């Protein structure tokens, strides 16, 4: 079981242009700081949060209960000129968990509803288990992808915008394919790196994903895969797998046993 | 003439995995804070900076001279565990300006060159003018795009990931088209907003862009366009145009005279 | 029992002037951000952290175990150009707890020892209890002081520097008195507010403190006192006491029962 | 002539307890971030800003005109849940400049006036000169003090709170003496460092200050003094003086000629 949280700014679009349009860099700084605050809070509890659209941030929050969500929400209310509503959802796959989180929030009101202010809706894994007796098996699987020789092939050779669009195209193709075929949620995390929250998948499935996407966009890439009780633990194991794959020139490395890793 | 700056972290990929892979949320927080610092500094001087790949940030820096670049660089050195190299470039179009900035940096060494540490290369508009007698006409043109009824059509209806990928697909299609046909640089700035740094283009050209992209991805959108001596001034005028277009239901509004606008 | 943590920057003085003196505002920004990061992390776990000297930050960390300290330390290492060593100490009073934390750190090496880098020394409450069978009664007592009519008497009447020095003088006098007579640790937290971490003290003791300090510096002030298992819970109860005292014009209000309070 | 700016949060005290008292660490994080933003903005323009009381921040703003103040103010409005009013003042001495800034703000309304929201009052140096023909000689003098062997004498020997109060006592004594006898404004900047904005003073005057304060608090200390058109330039020269004094064991070093210094 996966738990996700959708962090959605309340009535943000209208705020950015009232009473007159606000400076774009001020908005960018606000969004980056808000994201950094959420990522630090969620990360401190071994969860993950992804910038996504800036006004809609997606979190993998296995390990955060309702009280911790409310603490974060109170803290954001004390720091920012805008409020943030939270939708929490659980599911068998990352996709169904996020659908539940999205629905919980949509039911509470539109993203541009003036009266929806800092609500927290939906169910956490613990609440779900107590009510519905759902499984307490809640391993998170993380796949960490990067491009082979991206620095040599792109960064040091093309102009910065061409590199950017090439990598975004690869990332978009990979994300859509993994979503459709495996209910996975994938996010660009900078450089030439994509982090995917996946269901349990075997090595062949990852080879198939790589083959399919490489065929479509012509960029060879690798993946390290890890599992753990939290996104942080699974993600670190995935990074170890990716490093091992780089050394051994293997495109897919699944770290069977979680590493005993430093933080 | 446009001036761009490419901000590139030095040897960052290796740093993220040495001595062992670092926590993904720590890296995300670092990247978001670094971007916020650069955006605030550049924005204070009426420039723009875009997150792009996190380890490669693109700035539109008309109005910032070399001394200001060096001040920012010293300040980053005092605040972060990693260093940042800068490539500055000028050109007749946004694309050629960024090509010059990218080349200036690539000539100084690879992004993964261990010995390249916080260099600042390339030429500013002022230096260029003094040396080559290039024009001092350096108007920046900004086009601000957003999707019609994005909240109703996407955010309030689909799950947060589907909305995210739909908007990114639109954004990627728009960015690639504008780059190829007009040498423009386009960036997703959150929500359903894309900001493009363009050459001078007339209303018909914008209609053509909208028609082409809508046909390809099926999402209707609008644009406000502005011009000014800095990205900030041009961008604010573009935002006013977009607001006016929303009210009058016009897909393209070019703000002829820069507004006297509050900050 | 109280647990304190001393966060001490390693070899920071020399760093601020090498290779040449660094910009004072860069150092101030660095110190403020580092403090904000530590305060947010510790605060998320219901502890308190005080800026103190900027390069030496004092935390009340009941509730944070060793693993959480190490997580914070790893996170700081990933975000800053300087490292931070931690000394953890426990004691019957705030003073003796901080003495233990200070000694733990001093034993590990000088604050200007070039080879001491990000160490974490000393014992947490849990470790202490497991080893020495010390009491598990670890209530934190917080006293929150503020000046009567500070805005009317000072801020709106004197120049900003006179107000600042008058309040600092009051604060210093209060802090030294509480330390000597009650082993309490007191910190200026902005405005006209002082937060003290105290042992259990009765109402008369607080009246005596107020009388003694008012006599010496001539500034009338109030206090709200609270207790709880964490600094956060005790501190919120203290704030409620202070509000009640303001309404009822009582100089000392001890909140007997912790409030059920929102975050 | 000196220009100072008083940054004062509007109606902040009531906000911290409405509707119920807010978490102390949230308030500390807010204050630290707000200060960091102001210090970064002012520092980028070679000014200085000091934390002071957190809700009242004092800036030395020679070099910042009204438009830049308004830009900062708009930016703060876009980032924080509270607004900040600015009072700008000029004077022959730091003290008289701050008196003018304080009066300008007090005239606009009380710090707890619910209707005073983000005002900017007072006069800048440029406006003053245009109107009153005042001198355009506006050198800033900065004295940077630190304690001899503070690490050995205090940090490595006493507990962290004793060190903190000893240093604050020294700092308070020094600040009050310099204010009364020389109209200087002095601020603790962390560690064992005090930065004073002074009028022009000769070497003997600094020896007298050191003798007077050492006699009173028993702590030997040094000073480096510098001058320049901005606080940043003067402050860097002062730091160089202090370093030279450390090497040569001289308690007072006035850097006659501003160094050509890196940023």
Instruction: Give contacts of C74 with chain B, Cβ < 8 Å.
Output: 23, 26
Q: Compare CB distances from A81 to D33, D74, D79 and report the shortest one's residue.
A: D79
CB-CB contact of A221 with A214 (8 Å):
yes
User: Which pLDDT does position D36 carry in this prediction?
Assistant: 96
CB contact residues (below 8 A), chain D span 74-93, against chain B: 74-75
Give percent of chain B with pLDDT exceeding 70: 95
DSSP state at residue C237: H
Residues 6+ apart with CB under 8 A from B23: A43, A232, A235, A236, A263, C74, C75, C78
A215-247 in b/e burial notation, b at 16+ Cβ within 10 A? eebebebbbbbbbbebbbbbbbbbbbbbbebee
CB contact residues (below 8 A), chain C span 151-180, against chain B: none
**B258 pLDDT more than 90:** no
Q: Is the Cβ of B130 closer than 8 Å to some Cβ of chain A?
A: no
Q: Compare CB distances from A190 to B31, B33, B190 and report the shortest one's residue.
A: B31
Task: Determine the 3-state secondary structure of D188 from DSSP.
Answer: strand
User: What ipTM does the predicted assembly reach?
Assistant: 0.94
Average pLDDT, chain D: 93
Distances, alpha carbon B124 to alpha carbons B43, B69, B138, C124, D6, in Å = 17, 10, 12, 56, 36
| D252-254 vs D221-228, strand pairing mode | parallel
Residues 6+ apart with CB under 8 A from C124: C3, C61, C64, C65, C66, C69, C88, C90
Instruction: Give contacts of B164 with chain A, Cβ < 8 Å.
Output: 52-53, 56, 58
User: Which pLDDT does position B257 carry in this prediction?
Assistant: 56
Is there a contact between B160 and A102 if contact means CB atoms under 8 Å apart? Answer: yes
| B193-198 vs B140-147, strand pairing mode | antiparallel
**B28 pLDDT more than 50:** yes
Say which CATH architecture domain D140-254 belongs to: 2-Layer Sandwich (3.30)
Alpha carbons C155 and C17: distance in angstroms, whole number: 36
Closest by Cα among D7, D11, D5, D6 to D111: D11
Q: Is the Cβ of B35 closer than 8 Å to some Cβ of chain C?
A: no
CB-CB contact of C62 with C69 (8 Å):
no
Q: Concatenated DSSP letters for C37-80?
A: HHHHHHHHTT-EEE-TTSSEEEEE-TT--HHHHHHHHHHHHHH-
Average pLDDT, chain B: 93
Please provide residue A158's backbone torsions phi and psi, each rounded to the nearest 5 degrees: -95, 170
Instruction: Compute the average pLDDT of residues B129-155.
Output: 86
**B151 pLDDT more than 70:** yes
pLDDT in tens, C128-146: 888 877 666 779 999 999 9
Lookup result for tokens 């690539």: B106
Q: Compare CB distances from C29 to B26, B79, B81 and report the shortest one's residue.
A: B79
Is there a contact between C27 and D189 if contact means CB atoms under 8 Å apart? Answer: yes
CB-CB contact of C237 with C226 (8 Å):
yes
User: Which pLDDT does position B146 carry in this prediction?
Assistant: 96
Instruction: Give contacts of A20 with chain B, Cβ < 8 Å.
Output: 261-262
Radius of gyration, alpha carbons of chain B: 19
Neighbours of A, requiring at least 3 CB pairs below 8 Å, are B, C, D
Q: Is the Cβ of C27 closer than 8 Å to some Cβ of chain B?
A: yes
CB-CB contact of B23 with A262 (8 Å):
no
CB-CB contact of B11 with B116 (8 Å):
yes
CA end-to-end span of chain A:
24
The residue among D33, D160, D195 with the most chain C CBs within 10 A of its CB, best to mutate, is D160
Instruction: Count CB atoms within 10 A of the CB of residue B119.
Output: 19
pLDDT in tens, D210-248: 999 999 999 999 999 999 999 999 999 999 999 999 999
Average pLDDT, chain A: 93
Strand order in the sheet with A193-198: A185-188, A193-198, A140-147, A221-228, A252-254
The residue among B26, B36, B84 with the most chain C CBs within 10 A of its CB, best to mutate, is B26
Alpha carbon A223 to chain centroid, angstroms: 16
Alpha carbons A59 and A102: distance in angstroms, whole number: 12
Residues 6+ apart with CB under 8 A from B75: B37, B41, C23, C26, D40, D43, D44, D263
For residue B33, the distance in angstroms to the closest alpha carbon of chain D comes to: 12
Alpha carbons B180 and A131: distance in angstroms, whole number: 55
User: Which pLDDT does position C171 carry in this prediction?
Assistant: 97
Q: How many CB pairs (< 8 A) connect B and D?
A: 26
Q: Is D194 exposed, middle or buried (0-12, 13-18, 19+ CB in 10 A)?
A: buried
Neighbours of B, requiring at least 3 CB pairs below 8 Å, are A, C, D
For residue D10, the distance in angstroms to the closest alpha carbon of chain A comes to: 14
Q: Compare CB distances from C156 to D35, D106, D192 and report the shortest one's residue.
A: D106
More confident residue, B89 or A134: B89
Alpha carbons D118 and D263: distance in angstroms, whole number: 32
Residue segments in chain D with a per-residue pLDDT below the cut of 70:
134-136, 257-263
**DSSP H or E stretch at residue B169:** helix B160-182
Instruction: Count CB atoms within 10 A of the CB of residue C165.
Output: 18
Q: Tell me the sheet residues that pair with D197.
A: D142, D185
Is 3.30.70.1230 the CATH number for A2-132? Answer: yes
Residue segments in chain A with a per-residue pLDDT below the cut of 70:
134-136, 257-263
Instruction: Give contacts of A44 with chain C, Cβ < 8 Å.
Output: 41, 44, 71, 75
Domain coordinates in residue numbering, chain A: 2-132, 140-254
Instruction: Give contacts of B44 with chain D, Cβ < 8 Å.
Output: 41, 44, 71, 75
Residues 6+ apart with CB under 8 A from D196: D142, D143, D144, D145, D174, D175, D178, D184, D185, D186, D187
Helix axes B160-182, A94-108, angle to 10 degrees: 100
**DSSP H or E stretch at residue D126:** helix D125-132
Q: Compare CB distances from B262 to D40, D74, D75 and report the shortest one's residue.
A: D74
CB-CB contact of A34 with A28 (8 Å):
no
- Establish whether domains D2-132 and D140-254 are of one fold: yes
For each of chain C's 263 residues, which pLDDT tens digit applies? Answer: 999 999 999 999 999 998 899 999 999 999 999 999 999 999 999 999 999 999 999 999 998 999 999 999 999 999 999 999 999 999 999 999 999 999 999 999 999 988 899 999 999 999 988 887 766 677 999 999 999 989 989 999 999 999 999 999 999 999 999 999 999 999 999 999 999 999 999 999 999 999 999 999 999 999 999 999 999 999 999 999 999 999 999 999 999 755 444 43
- Report residue D196 as tokens: 């004073």
Q: Concatenated DSSP letters for chain A?
A: -EEEEEEEETTHHHHHTSSSPPPHHHHHHHHHHHHHHHHHHHHHTT-EEE-TTSSEEEEE-TT--HHHHHHHHHHHHHH-SS-EEEEEEEESSHHHHHHHHHHHHHHH--TT-TT--S-EEE--HHHHHHHH-------EEEEEEEETTHIIIIITTS-HHHHHHHHHHHHHHHHHHHHHHH--EEEE-STTEEEEEE----HHHHHHHHHHHHHHH---EEEEEEEESSHHHHHHHHHHHHHHHHHHT-SEEE--SPP----
Q: Compare CB distances from C33 to D26, D36, D176 and report the shortest one's residue.
A: D36
Q: Compare CB distances from A164 to B52, B110, B261 and report the shortest one's residue.
A: B52
Instruction: Count CB atoms within 10 A of the CB of residue A198.
Output: 27
Bond before A108 cis per omega within 30 degrees:
no
Instruction: Give contacts of C183 with chain D, Cβ < 8 Å.
Output: none
Task: Determine the 3-state secondary structure of C260 from DSSP.
Answer: coil
Alpha carbons B260 and B145: distance in angstroms, whole number: 21
**B262 pLDDT more than 50:** no
CA end-to-end span of chain D:
24
User: Which pLDDT does position B188 carry in this prediction?
Assistant: 97
Closest by Cα among D178, B14, D34 to C161: D178
For residue A161, the distance in angstroms to the closest alpha carbon of chain D comes to: 29
Closest by Cα among A131, A118, A53 to A87: A118
Instruction: Compute the average pLDDT of residues B185-201.
Output: 97
CB-CB contact of D231 with D46 (8 Å):
yes
Instruction: Give contacts of B40 with chain D, Cβ < 8 Å.
Output: 37, 40-41, 75
Q: Is the Cβ of A22 closer than 8 Å to some Cβ of chain D?
A: yes
Alpha carbon A249 to chain centroid, angstroms: 27
Instruction: Return the percent helix, strand and coil in chain D, to nearest 5.
Output: 50, 20, 30
Alpha carbons C222 and C193: distance in angstroms, whole number: 10
Instruction: Compute the average pLDDT of residues B51-60.
Output: 97
CB-CB contact of D78 with A30 (8 Å):
yes
Task: Determine the 3-state secondary structure of D10 from DSSP.
Answer: coil
Instruction: Count CB atoms within 10 A of the CB of residue A248.
Output: 8
- Report residue B29 as tokens: 């927080």
Instruction: Compute the average pLDDT of residues B192-197.
Output: 98
Alpha carbon C13 to chain centroid, angstroms: 22
Instruction: Give contacts of B54 with chain A, Cβ < 8 Å.
Output: 189-191
């Amino acid at each position: 079981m996966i738990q996700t949280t959708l962090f959605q700014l309340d009535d943000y679009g209208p705020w950015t242009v009232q009473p007159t349009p606000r400076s774009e860099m001020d908005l960018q700084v606000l969004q980056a700081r808000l994201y950094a605050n959420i990522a630090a809070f969620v990360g401190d509890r071994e969860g993950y949060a992804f910038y996504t659209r800036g006004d809609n941030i997606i979190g993998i929050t296995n390990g955060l209960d309702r009280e911790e969500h409310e603490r974060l929400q109170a803290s954001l209310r004390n720091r920012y000129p805008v409020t943030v509503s939270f939708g929490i959802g659980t599911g068998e796959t990352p996709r169904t968990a996020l659908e539940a989180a999205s629905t919980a929030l949509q039911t509470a009101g539109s993203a541009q509803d003036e009266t929806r202010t800092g609500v927290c809706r939906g169910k956490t894994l613990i609440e779900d288990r107590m009510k519905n007796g759902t499984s307490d098996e809640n391993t998170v699987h993380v796949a960490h992808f990067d491009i082979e020789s991206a620095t040599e092939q792109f960064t040091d050779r093309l102009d910065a915008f061409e590199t950017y669009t090439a990598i975004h195209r690869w990332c978009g193709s990979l994300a859509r394919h993994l979503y459709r075929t495996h209910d996975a949620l994938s996010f660009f995390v900078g450089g030439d790196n994509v982090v995917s929250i996946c269901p349990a998948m075997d090595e062949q499935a990852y080879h198939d994903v790589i083959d399919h996407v490489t065929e479509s966009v012509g960029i060879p890439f690798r993946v390290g895969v890890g599992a753990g009780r939290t996104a942080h633990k699974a993600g670190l194991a995935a990074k170890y797998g990716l490093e091992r794959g780089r050394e051994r020139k293997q495109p897919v490395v699944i770290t069977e046993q979680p590493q005993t890793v430093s933080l």
